[in-house]
Amino acid sequence: MSIQFAGKINPIVKSTRACNILRCGVSAGSGDVRKYLQSGATIPVQDKIILASSSPYRKQLLDRLRLDYQCHSPGIDESIHIGELASDYVCRLAQAKAQAVARQHPAAVVIGSDQCALLDDQILGKPGSHQQALQQLRQAQGKTVVFHTGVCVLNLARDFCMVEEVPFEVEFRRLSDRQLEHYLQVEQPYDCAGSFKAEGYGACLFSALRGEDPSALIGLPLFKLTTMLESAGIEVV
């Protein structure tokens, strides 16, 4: 299996943009947010980092940065809009997750992330069941699947918002149904977009990986996130 972490794929990067408070879903007249914005108070953001996710995989990735943080589940609607591009979809959900948690914690630096897989112009999400996972893996046989991961760093108190998208290509081997069934029985990746765990036994499904950040494939692009956190005032190194 060949692994390339740069070069062949052209990254699709969402433009970094300032986040308007109204667009973030908090009204300009909201008491707590207005007080923070008007006071200019110094906030100990190093102790106020929140991962807007209940995913154990994203938590394991964020642990690598050795930051003090909390996890809060955003509980948002993750439905795909009609005609929505994969890159737009993951960026919208990453920002929506961060916003949902930031409304309750406006002084915190909140991290939101979302991922989907794109195969034959079809967006694939988490399979949720054995049969759906088997169908996804059958579809991917001998093909290249692009995994799109969106990440958002949001701090309402400082009116700070960055959203980025990181793609990663996975080329699948051709395997028999017996081999696919065996893989699914062993790893049961039913809560993973694309129906595999790249950091585990799922490596046996691939013939090549192409992208800039291998952590993006697991669900949280640490290379990009590190620079975003630093822009938000968090010292990672």
Helices (H), the chain: 31-39, 56-63, 86-102, 130-140, 177-187, 214-218, 222-231
Strands 122-124 and 160-172: unpaired
Q: Which string of b and e fits 184-199 if b means at least 16 CB within 10 Å?
A: beebebeebbbbbbbe
User: In this structure, what are the phi and psi dihedrals at residue 120, rounded to the nearest 5 degrees?
Assistant: 50, 45
The active-site residue, picked from 114, 121, 191, 213, is 114
Specify whether 32 is catalytic.
Answer: no
Beta bridge mates, 122:
119
| CA separation for the pair 112, 62 (Å, rounded) | 12
Tokens found for residue 227: 């620079």
Measured distance CA(3)–CA(237) in Å, rounded = 27
Q: What positions carry a catalytic annotation?
A: 114
